[in-house]
Amino acid sequence: MHLLSRFYFVVPLLCCLSLAACQKYSDTPGKSDPRLNGHYCNDPDAVNFNKGFPGIADNSVCIYPADVFAGNYSFVDSVYDGSQKLIKEQPLNLSFSALDHTHFTMSGFCAAGMPINFTTNRTLLASADSVVSSGQLLCRPTDTLSGTIFQALGDSTRIRFSLVVLSDTGVSYHQGTAFRQ
């Protein structure tokens, strides 16, 4: 019994002493993190999605794929036949205009001035929009176009072309690099 009474005396005494020795915690203001003050794009369709995160979500800083392609380019179109033999090289002045975030047109490829429609994604790989089964109608009613154009992220000065034209005279491949003017 003597041990039990000592226990009831020592435990409350230790509790009182430990509470008396403690003081209330006060949070001191630390340094602010400058990364939290920047703005970043929070739209997953944008090329710069989450660039600058963490920070303040602000979609006014978004850069969309079609906007990256917009502008004027000079292009030497290397045209190859079905057996990959060079047929001709022709200089072209191309103009790209954004329609929305992922769609744009390219003018200057056809002599008649008919624009060609493309759809692009966040990786800046654009494919010719198809309105018929074998591609997009091109300069003549018997021509259709398919293929891709590509712009490397971080290189806004050039675009690489790999297009195929199906016509009543056969298949031709249009390849090359266009440079921003």
Contacts of 13 (CB under 8 A, 6+ apart): none
Asked if residue 55 and residue 40 are part of one domain, the reply reads yes
Instruction: Flag whether 145 is in a domain.
Output: yes
Asked if residue 73 and residue 44 are part of one domain, the reply reads no
Asked if residue 153 and residue 89 are part of one domain, the reply reads yes
Q: Is the pLDDT of residue 136 over 60?
A: no
Instruction: Flag whether 14 is in a domain.
Output: no
What mean pLDDT is reported for the chain? 83
Residue that terminates a domain, selected from 16, 48, 63: 63
Distance, CA of 22 to CA of 38 (rounded, Å): 40
Question: Residue 176: which region, alpha, beta or left (left: phi > 0; alpha: psi -120 to 50)?
Answer: left
Asked if residue 108 and residue 76 are part of one domain, the reply reads yes
pLDDT, average across residues 20-48: 76
* Tens digits of residue pLDDT in 145-179: 888 999 988 888 999 999 998 888 889 999 999 99
- 0.85 exceeded by the pTM? no
Q: How far is CA 69 from the centre of its chain?
A: 11
Contacts of 114 (CB under 8 A, 6+ apart): 138, 139
Distance, CA of 9 to CA of 1 (rounded, Å): 13
Number of domains in the chain: 2
Asked if residue 85 and residue 38 are part of one domain, the reply reads no
Asked if residue 93 and residue 45 are part of one domain, the reply reads no
Asked if residue 53 and residue 72 are part of one domain, the reply reads no
Instruction: Flag whether 16 is in a domain.
Output: no
Asked if residue 165 and residue 103 are part of one domain, the reply reads yes
Asked if residue 138 and residue 71 are part of one domain, the reply reads yes
Asked if residue 135 and residue 157 are part of one domain, the reply reads yes
Handedness of CA 61, 65, 67, 68 (dihedral sign): positive
Q: Which domain holds residue 108?
A: 65-180
| CB distance 116 to 103 below 8 Å | no
> Counting Cβ atoms within 10 Å, is residue 67 exposed (0-12), middle (13-18) or buried (19+)?
middle
Peptide bond into 91 cis (omega under 30): no
Rg of the chain on CA atoms, in Å: 32
